[in-house]
Amino acid sequence: MATDKISVKVSKDGPYIIQNCASLVNSKGEELETKEYIALCRCGASRNKPFCDGAHKKAGFTDGKN
């Protein structure tokens, strides 16, 4: 995974989808678990921040751009 390029995609009205992220550190400097694909919250409603838990659907989040 370390040699693969990181890719970031924006889901329509949903999370950022990150692929091939070797490490992820939060604002407290703590290393977070990574997988081949990671969904990061954009709506602010997730109970599992920074990861998406699907709360954007219930919150009615729209990005207005995609």
Q: What is the pLDDT of residues 45-63, one digit of tens each?
A: 999 999 999 999 999 999 8
Residue 66: pLDDT band with limits 50, 70, 90: low
The one-letter amino acid code at 48 reads N
Please give the pLDDT value at position 4: 82
First CA to last CA across the chain, in angstroms? 29
Taken in order of first residue, the domains within the chain and their CATH numbers are: 7-59 (3.40.5.90)
Q: Determine the distance from the C-alpha atom of residue 48 to the mean position of all C-alpha atoms in its chain, rounded to a whole number.
A: 11
Question: What are the pLDDT digits (tens) for 11-44?
Answer: 999 999 999 999 999 999 999 999 999 999 999 9
Rounded Cα distance between 40 and 38, Å, is 6
Which has the higher per-residue pLDDT, 66 or 43?
Answer: 43
- pTM, 2 dp: 0.84
